[in-house]
A and B are shown apart, each in its own frame.
Chain A
Amino acid sequence: MSGGPWERFAAQFPELLDTLLLGVEMTVIVTFGGFVVAMVLGMAGALLRNARMVPIRMLGTLYVDVFRSVPVLTQLFIIYFGLAELGVKLDPIPAAIIGFGINGGAYLTEVFRAGIEAIHRGQNEAALAIGMTRAQALRVIVLPQAVRVVLPPLGNFAIGLLKDTSVASSVAAPELSFRAHMLVDQTYLSTQIYLTVAALYLAMSLPLAYGVRKLERRMARGRLA
């Protein structure tokens, strides 16, 4: 192999891209999986924080405060390396999905809570006054209105998560960043490969960001103050 790094890069580009695209696929899977887990935990967390019994509410607060105060990398290491020490050996991909899900759930708890709180209390009171139960009022009256408050931050969370999944490379989850490290180890083309990786992340995150911006504008329109 002769020539400068850029020539070598150009010559090998098709194979490099093929490998990186495999990583893109896995990045999408981890992002999507983490997002789903985070949604479920976030809703559960918001219900806990909304509960009438103080100990249950405190449980919700504890979840949010602890998991938002510790880096997601540390949480991934605890789930992947830490649990393995205790005999619970998870594969990298499930470990990453669980880790990002639990971490993200703490953030989404706050997003959902803010969404519920943004709905005027009178809505809830009126629903109770006409004889709905608390659960009914939440489901039929408050939640449908909260959705439009919650959608834009949910979109932003998804973008953040997409980028954060790069950290899963450190637990050997074969996503985009991990594939890139392997390729750099083989070819020493660090600048070229990481620039390609940056471009691939951009190709995923920019359309998402554009969608969120559009959503933000749409949701802001025609909302009652």
Chain B
Amino acid sequence: MTWTDFSEWLPQLLVAAGGTLKMSVLAFTLAVFAGLLIALARTSRRRAVSAVATCYVELIRGTPALTQLFLIYFGLASAGVILPAFTAAVVGLGLNYAAYMSEVYRAGIAAVHRGQREAALAIGMTNALAMRNIILPQAVRIVVPPMANYAVSLLKDTSVASLISAPELMLRARDLSSEYFMPMELYVLAGVMYLVMAYPLAKGARYLELRMGQGRIAS
């Protein structure tokens, strides 16, 4: 690897890392909201609703994200629904992480003492009000640290989207490596860029864990 190579690669890889970040943020946002819907569906008193939600979580968590991406990208295309690779990756990873996120919410809701809910209902709140005003605000501090950890995993898992040729860091590194025949240099460089993105995020997650763990009342 010469300096010229490096100076040619770096801007391209940086742009691609931007794609990785964009994909991560969009997929994470989708996962946060879809995950909440799934978690609420699982607490539903209607059996059919909670059963569907439970099935969704089990099916998604039991299969690789890669298989899900292929189903969304190639499978839907064969049925006439042609998504751009980037969109397919955001939808696929978002819906995948939504299943994990819903479990985080569920644990968070379960961790709030039942007496809180009962008291809210006793003073005349509806179920929905109790959930929104009493339970969720307390569940947030339990939920945020694991969510942050999933954000780190998601950032790394976007690399898998390169296998459906979604524009992100690994895809660019692969393209460059087939052009320059220097896979070691390029993949190590890509690895360093992932490290630079993921490591501070992981440290932040760790900080949140310590911070939010403080002053929690044991239930």
Residues of A within 8 A of B (CB): 5, 65-66, 68-75, 77-78, 81-86, 163-164, 166-167, 169-170, 177, 180, 184, 188-191, 194-195, 197-198, 201-202, 205-206, 209
Are A184 and B74 within 8 A (Cβ)? yes
The residue among B65, B75, B181 with the most chain A CB atoms within 10 A of its own CB is: B75
- Interfacial chain A residues near B61, Cβ < 8 Å: 205, 209
**Contact for A195 among B62, B71, B77, B191, CB less than 8 A:** B71
Are B66 and A70 within 8 A (Cβ)? no
A171 vs B65: C-alpha distance when bound (angstroms): 17
Given contacts A74-B159, A85-B181, 16 further A-B contacts (CB under 8 A): A69-B198, A69-B202, A74-B170, A74-B194, A75-B191, A77-B173, A83-B184, A167-B66, A167-B160, A169-B66, A170-B163, A177-B66, A190-B70, A194-B70, A194-B71, A206-B58
Q: Is B195 an interface residue (CB 8 A)?
A: yes
Known: A166-B64, A206-B62. A191 touches B187 (CB 8 A): no
Known: A69-B194, A71-B157, A73-B160. A177 touches B188 (CB 8 A): no
A148 vs B64: C-alpha distance when bound (angstroms): 28
Interface size range of chain B in the complex? 35 or more
Known: A71-B194, A163-B63, A167-B66. A65 touches B199 (CB 8 A): yes
A73 vs B157: C-alpha distance when bound (angstroms): 9
Known: A166-B67, A170-B163. A190 touches B187 (CB 8 A): no
A90 vs B132: C-alpha distance when bound (angstroms): 55
- Mostly, the B contact residues are helix
Q: Is B177 an interface residue (CB 8 A)?
A: yes
Are B156 and A71 within 8 A (Cβ)? yes
Tell me the chain B residues, 152-193 only, with Cβ under 8 Å from chain A: 156-157, 159-160, 162-163, 170, 173-174, 177, 181-184, 187-188, 190-191
- Interfacial chain A residues near B64, Cβ < 8 Å: 163-164, 166-167, 177, 201
Q: Is B78 an interface residue (CB 8 A)?
A: yes
> Closest CB-CB distance, B76 to chain A, in whole Å?
8
Are A66 and B183 within 8 A (Cβ)? no
A123 vs B166: C-alpha distance when bound (angstroms): 52
Are B71 and A191 within 8 A (Cβ)? yes
The residue among A5, A166, A206 with the most chain B CB atoms within 10 A of its own CB is: A166
Are A66 and B195 within 8 A (Cβ)? yes
Are B184 and A86 within 8 A (Cβ)? yes
- Interfacial chain A residues near B70, Cβ < 8 Å: 180, 190, 194
